[in-house]
Structure 1
Amino acid sequence: MKYLAMLTIVDPEKNQESRPAHLKYASDLYLQGKVFAAGPFPDGKGGLVIYDCESDEEATRLANADPAVTSGARTVEVRAWRTLDLPVEL
């Protein structure tokens, strides 16, 4: 199942410091098949990581272990997300 992790920047200075580790963390999880997609919001206030996990617990654990979160640079909210099979025929 897919899980959306909304990462909101709460400390811009810590965010700059943790950014390289945050990007490496997301890249490593992508190579392991645990991250489906990731990227920043254009307004510069944070970003989104879409995890591909077996459970709520796994997604929450991975999101909370992100260096941007553990450093206190960002807060995170994790929500399960179900994709639609598009196109939808009505």
Structure 2
Amino acid sequence: MYVAILTIVDPELNAKVRPAHLEYINQLYLQDKVVMAGPFADQRGGMVIYRADSLEEAKQLAEADPVVREGARTLELREWKPLSFPLA
């Protein structure tokens, strides 16, 4: 899995592009490519957890997000290895 941290850098542009962002994330969720997504409580951006077979695939998905593509948010993409519970 891969985590995208999307930090808002242009609030006006972000507000304009946000509906397309939400539609994009929803479509990926329906394709089982997004596990979870949502805004941070401080309203400075949000996070998307992608299910992808490679960093390259995750990067393509994240960079195609309208808020990233249009420059409303920056992208920090990292591979994530969630723990399985209970821990041994």
TM-score norm. by structure 1 comes to 0.96
Number of the residue aligned with 1:74: 73
Cα offset, 1:50, TM superposition: 0.1
Output the amino acid matched with 1:56: L
Residue 32 of structure 1, CA deviation:
0.3
What is the percentage of aligned positions where both structures have the same residue?
58
Q: Distance in 2 between matches of 1:62 and 1:85?
A: 25
Q: How many corresponding residue pairs?
A: 88
| Mapped partners of 1:76, 1:85: distance in 2 | 27
CA deviations on 1:57-85 (whole Å, 9 max, x unpaired) are 00011101100011110000110000111
Q: 2: CA distance between counterparts of 1:67 and 1:27? A: 13
Alignment RMSD (CA, Å)? 0.5
Distance in structure 2 (CA, Å) of the matches to 1:77 and 1:58:
15
Q: 1: CA distance between counterparts of 2:65 and 2:41?
A: 21
Q: Point out where structure 2 has 5 or more consecutive residues left out of the alignment.
A: none
Shift of 1:87: 1.4
Query: 1:13-36: CA deviations, max 9, x gaps?
Result: 000000000000000000000000
User: Structure 1: 5+ residue runs without aligned partners?
Assistant: none
Structure 1 runs of 4+ off > 4 angstroms?
none
